[in-house]
Structure 1
Amino acid sequence: MKVLSPLIILFLSHTLNAQTNQSQLNKYASITGGFSKHGSGDMRGISENITFGKYFHKKLSWTTALGATIHDGSYRITSIQADGNVMDHSYRYTAGGLQISGGIAYSFMRGKRNEFGIRASAILRYQSSSYFDKLIIIFDPKTTSLPYPATYIFNSTPQKTYAVGGSPELFYNHSLGKSFFLGTTANFQADTNGDVITNLSLSVGKRFN
């Protein structure tokens, strides 16, 4: 018992000290990147975020982030020429955006190694898109006198837009040592421009005072 007592005291002291040190690291910064889908899925791409957060309660934190997305797609059109060559007339389009966001996160579980929670954020987004509002394709050489499809594009919305929106997000973080962590996030966002974007990402971050 005389031998065990100092060991028990040492173990408890180490555990309490580790928990104290962990709780003192109430700020964090992370970089997130992953796969993204725009709209109904006809545009796919990538997204990234740089996030800063601070805990103001054991399970509550506020966050702010700077993010970017880029998505692309194509409307495939081909024709076979008289010599047998296949011509590609596909219409290709891209949508890219920058955004800033701020929100509140709640951690359902926040232990020494694992953290799982939900985050709700408000978004201000700028986007530039070459996506069409209406596309008409006519492939009739007798009518158009062209040996390839004639494409008519109509745009009723601006190329560049500003919008506000919101985003709910689930997140999980696993600590590596005292301050570094790896994580995963899953979220979607919708805005006043009618854009809906879903993301599935990985993150790496660091906690600090």
Structure 2
Amino acid sequence: MKYLFFFVFLIVSYKGVSQKKISTYNKSFQFDIGTSFNGSGDLGGFVVYSEYNKYFKKHFSYSVGLGATFHDNSSISNNSIDERSLYITIAGLEVLGKIGYSFVKTNKHDLGVKLGVLIRYQSNSTDSYETDYPPYNGYNVPIVIIVNNEPQRSLSLGGIAQLYYNYSINEKIFVGTSGSFQSDTNEDAISKLSLTFGMRFN
């Protein structure tokens, strides 16, 4: 009988210690910074954004965030940058709202996915151009014809899918990484890979 009481005591003690270790913080604020690619990947750049998260159930959360992306490139001739080449810059500011689900959620690990919507304001300097070479153009030098059919500023709606992993350093501080893909009504497709630094609170 005493062994039974001892066994029950061990179980109760273990559950009590485990419950103390479980974080009671269901809100967090995080900052992400990383690399991103616009289109097929030939237009590279970086992304920064901040996000507020709240778990309304053990495995379900919602988040709102504000972010920015910057992408640039230039035309390349003979594997060297021509100082007379065309420079392309695309910059965007985004407001995002997402719903998340954690596949794995323990004291140390949080692995899950998020799906959401976004509003994106974008400034775009992308030009369409073609080059006519001599002797077909009637000159002794190539002629570049620039045609800009895209609006410089645009406002669009879009969707985003994200996979994330966070590791808890302690009860409040966590770090992690995430990858995401988004598309919008302006036909911009952007992929992101970033590092996460965050803090939990109530």
Q: In which range does the TM-score fall when normalised by the shorter chain?
A: 0.7 to 0.9
Gaps of at least 5 residues in structure 2 are none
Note the C-alpha offset of 1:150.
2.5
2:129 pairs, out of 130, 135, 140, with: 135
Distance 1:144 1:181 in 2: 64
How many correspondences in the alignment?
Answer: 195
Distance 1:203 1:101 in 2: 16
Gaps of at least 5 residues in structure 1 are 79-85
Give aligned-pair identity as a percent.
Answer: 33
1:206 aligns with 2:193: no
Which residue is 1:184 aligned to? 177
- CA deviations over 1:131-167 (Å, ceiling 9, x no partner): 11x20123438956565x4221111221100000000
Distance 1:127 1:14 in 2: 51
Which residue is 2:110 aligned to? 115
Distance 2:14 2:101 in 1: 31
User: Structure 1 residues 178 and 152, CA, compared in 2 at 3 Å: closer, same or farther?
Assistant: same
Note the C-alpha offset of 1:87.
6.0
2:147 pairs, out of 154, 159, 163, with: 154
User: Structure 1 residues 152 and 16, CA, compared in 2 at 3 Å: closer, same or farther?
Assistant: same
CA contact (8 A) 1:69 1:96 kept: yes
- Root-mean-square deviation (CA, aligned residues, Å) is 2.3
Distance 1:165 1:105 in 2: 17
The TM-score, its normalising length taken from structure 1, stands at 0.85
Note the C-alpha offset of 1:77.
3.9
Note the C-alpha offset of 1:175.
0.2
CA contact (8 A) 1:125 1:163 kept: yes
